[in-house]
Amino acid sequence: MFYFMPLSQNQPSLLDAPRAGVNAPEFSVSELSNLVKKTVEETFGLVRVRGEISDCKLHSSGHMYLTLKEGTAVLASVCWRGQVGRLGITPAVGMEVVCTGRLTTFAGQSKYQLVIDSMALAGVGALLKMLEERKKKLAAEGLFDASRKRDLPYLPRVIGVITSPTGAVIRDILHRLAERFPRPVLVWPVAVQGEGAAEQITAAINGFNALPLTGGVSRPDVLIIARGGGSVEDLMPFNEENVVRAVAESKIPVISAVGHETDTTLVDFASDLRAPTPTAAAEKAVPVRENLLYQVEDDGARLFQAVMRLMQDLRERLHLTQRALGDPARAIEPLAQRLDEKTERLVLAWRGFYDRRSGRVSEAGGRLRHPRDVVRLAAQRLANAEQKMGFAWRELFSRKVHRLENLSGVLRHLSPRAVLGRGYALVQDVKGNVIVSAQQTKTGDRLRIEFGDGKTGVVVE
């Protein structure tokens, strides 16, 4: 076990006393580690280190662990979770960067490392290389495809502007809109450079898209993302992936107006329309009101002239048609005469048809009998039929009765019970089956014997 005892400045340490045969003082491992840590941190409390990232890992805790190299030399580095989101760039292997931070030691592994507070790309060339690689990556995903571009509304109801609330950009845009065609403008103030600018711009784009279509604050019909000119580093927020993806995924058409005409950012490729300057973006957002009024007046005059020419043409065609047709009364006179002839012929034909039908009805009426005669004859026939049916029924009934009496006598004569009065008996089992032989019985069977004057039960012995 290694241990050490803290001593006051005036109290001599036992470790400082030289041992026999040894002139150098003796330190514990902890003491030596603390002395080294103190020396390193005091000497290199603020350093800027330039190197190439050879390893980069983002831990689940949110901390980022890097390795910077130059030639054969390497430097372990760490960026704590709270600083990772404020770096402004996304570290990647092979990227040459300049890191600002402090050196400290890690006693657990007897090593030193750089604690990174900020990071920047080393030189404009490296920055442009990173932007070119990011552009290829996003283009491969289809974020810059022309098929994604949408047409701007001809006359938007509301215009959303994402820019810095101070500076000449917002004043130029509002001034140009007021000159061309005044429209309601919603301004979402954001930082256009520096730490946190990309997150603010992304939040503004998503915030405008989240607004309802109708209501107190309705969703804009077009967005303008604008800022003035600057260096490549100043325009970096408009090259960040989160901003580019937010522009590409926006439901509202976006006009990008970042920097001067010669400046180009990745947002320009993802937007629906790129304007060289913020003033030009305002000009592309709305038409010129005076020109529109002039166009409406001109179209109205042309429409009136076209209608007048049409009416004149129709009037001339009507006049020519009238001349070709002649007087309508003369064309109607022969038709009216033909109608009179047809009417007269129709009346005569109807009268003849009526007379023929009336004669046929009179002739048929002469051949018909009076209903009283028909009823009297039918009643006489019904009485005769009733008399015949009564006679036939009595005769049939008499024959049926006589036959029934004969059959009843034969039945009584043939009935087995007719001989029971002469001393015979009818033997049956309990189920009513007639017993005609002694072999049908066995000892113990119950039988019923029917005599002429009644029945009795017996048991076979």
Question: Under DSSP, is residue 24 helix (H, G, I), strand (E, B) or coil?
Answer: coil
Q: How many other C-beta atoms are found inside a 10 Å radius of the C-beta of residue 133? A: 13
Q: Is 303 left (phi over 0), alpha (psi -120 to 50) or beta?
A: alpha
What share of the chain in percent tops pLDDT 70? 92
Domain ranges of the chain: 14-130, 156-287, 289-327, 378-414, 417-459
Segment 370-417, tens digit of pLDDT: 788 888 888 898 989 988 898 888 889 988 989 998 888 888 777 766
Distance CA 104, CA 45 (A): 8
Q: What is the structure's pLDDT at 17?
A: 47
Segment 322-331, tens digit of pLDDT: 787 777 777 7
- Residue 104 · residue 40 · CB < 8 Å: yes
- Residue 296 · residue 317 · CB < 8 Å: no
Lowest mean pLDDT segment, chosen from 125-129, 210-214, 280-284: 125-129
Strand ranges across the sheet with 222-227? 185-189, 159-163, 222-227, 254-258, 273-274
Q: Is 209 exposed, middle or buried (0-12, 13-18, 19+ CB in 10 A)?
A: middle
Q: What is the structure's pLDDT at 82?
A: 86
Print the SS3 string covering 114-152: EEEEEEEECHHHHHHHHHHHHHHHHHHCCCCCHHHCCCC
Q: What is the structure's pLDDT at 7?
A: 35
pLDDT class of 13 with cuts at 50, 70, 90: very low
pLDDT for residue 250 is more than 90:
yes
For 14-130, give the CATH class.
mainly beta
Task: Quickly name the fold that domain 156-287 has.
Answer: Rossmann fold (3.40.50)
Residues 162-186, buried b or exposed e (16+ Cβ, 10 A)? Answer: bbbeeeebbebbbebbeebbebebb
Mean pLDDT of the chain: 84
**Mean pLDDT within 204-233:** 88
**Mean pLDDT within 293-298:** 88
Lowest mean pLDDT segment, chosen from 144-148, 207-211, 337-341: 337-341
Amino acid type, 243:
V
pLDDT for residue 316 is more than 70:
yes
**Mean pLDDT within 84-106:** 83
Q: What is the structure's pLDDT at 124?
A: 60
The pair phi, psi for residue 174, each rounded to 5°, is -65, -40
pLDDT class of 246 with cuts at 50, 70, 90: very high
Q: What is the structure's pLDDT at 223?
A: 95
**Mean pLDDT within 226-243:** 85
pLDDT for residue 19 is more than 60:
no
- Closest CA relative to residue 190, chosen from 166, 168, 213: 166
Q: What is the structure's pLDDT at 22?
A: 58
Tokens linked to 225: 């993302």
Question: Under DSSP, is residue 320 helix (H, G, I), strand (E, B) or coil?
Answer: helix
Tokens linked to 175: 């001034």
- Residue 5 · residue 30 · CB < 8 Å: no
Distance CA 271, CA 138 (A): 13
Distance CA 427, CA 438 (A): 11
Amino acid type, 266:
L
